[in-house]
Amino acid sequence: MANLKQIRQRIRTSKNIRQITRAMKLVAAARLKKAQDRVTEARPYSEKMRELMLSLSEAGGLPSHPLLEKRSGGKTCMILITADRGLAGSYNTNLIRKSSDFLKEMGGGIDLYYVGKKGFQFFTRRGVNSVGHYTVPSTGARVEDAQEVTKTASELFVSGEYDKILVCYSKFYSPIRQVPQIVQVLPIEPPAAEEGSAGKISKDYQFEPDSETLLATLLPKYLLNIIFQAMLESTASEHGSRMTAMSSATDNAGKMIDDLTLKANRERQSKITTEILEVVGGAEALNN
């Protein structure tokens, strides 16, 4: 059983931990607000891009483009977006589990391109083939980061080295809910129409400039938008998960401090009582 000195040492340690977790919670909360605003601001643009691609796909007869080329069989590369640091609750674990389950389901044969260190550290230790690794600043993904990842994905696909490019990221819903998902980014497939919109008559478009020039400009931007949106969602999910985890850790540290303080008080009272009994016993022995 721990003595009073050991209990007080544990109380001091718990207070230090609570101070650290509280600071991390505040930092994560500040970053989450910025990341959440960026996600909210980017979603309307992403939705408009999706509507534009849907409208163009309804026109039919679009010219071929390297980013639209569908190939049978071949190799697949998956971009795995994780965090560089831990202490983010189940954020990294859920993404790694989602990726691992997908690799098992597909029977292997999928190479990984890593955005963030946690996924890279996990899978490289298990012999999964690595295509490359990119690190995002702790403050969140920038347009420059998305452009770099998009450039790599395009080169891997257009060169014919890989016939399909996927991205695994965590979609942000709230600080306590982030859902890992895997989506295909290459070859680009027109978005599916919403339910109830089936049976629409194909639209007849006149392109100005010509459709080849339009696609050459639009498709790379659409691909960049998909990857950038995934990185923004992942950044918000990371900060939300970290804020929730640090809030829980701070509360748990507070409860531990209360329990240890009560235990220390009982131990101190027991020690005082024992000393009083010894003094009283000694006095009685002298009187006798």
Query: Which pairs with CB-CB distance under 8 Å and at least 24 residues apart come from 4-8?
Result: 4/264, 4/267, 4/268, 4/271, 7/260, 7/263, 7/264, 7/267, 8/264
Write out the residue range of the structural domain in which residue 72 sits. Answer: 22-190+205-244
Does 270 map to a domain?
A: no
Which are the contacts of 155, defined by CB distance < 8 A and separation ≥ 6? none
Does 113 map to a domain?
A: yes
Does 60 map to a domain?
A: yes
| Interatomic CA distance for residues 170 and 37, integer angstroms | 17
Does 199 map to a domain?
A: no
In this predicted structure, the answer to whether residue 61 has a pLDDT above a threshold of 80 is no
Number of domains comprising the chain: 1
Q: What is the DSSP letter of 107?
A: T
Determine which of 17-31, 232-246, 272-286 has the lowest per-residue pLDDT on average: 272-286
Does 198 map to a domain?
A: no
Per-residue pLDDT reduced to its tens digit, 102-126: 999 888 778 999 999 999 999 988 8
Tell me the whole-structure pTM to 2 decimals: 0.83
In this predicted structure, the answer to whether residue 261 has a pLDDT above a threshold of 70 is yes
Does 285 map to a domain?
A: no
| Interatomic CA distance for residues 230 and 95, integer angstroms | 13
In this predicted structure, the answer to whether residue 128 has a pLDDT above a threshold of 70 is yes
| Interatomic CA distance for residues 215 and 221, integer angstroms | 10
The backbone region for 43, taken as left when phi is positive above 0, alpha when psi lies in -120 to 50, beta otherwise, is alpha
| Interatomic CA distance for residues 267 and 5, integer angstroms | 10
pLDDT at 199: 46
Q: CA triplet 82, 86, 92: central angle to 5 degrees?
A: 35
Does 272 map to a domain?
A: no
pLDDT at 160: 87
Does 86 map to a domain?
A: yes
Q: What is the band of 95 on the pLDDT scale with cuts at 50, 70, 90? A: very high
In this predicted structure, the answer to whether residue 257 has a pLDDT above a threshold of 50 is yes
Q: What is the DSSP letter of 199?
A: T
CATH code, 60: 3.40.1380.10
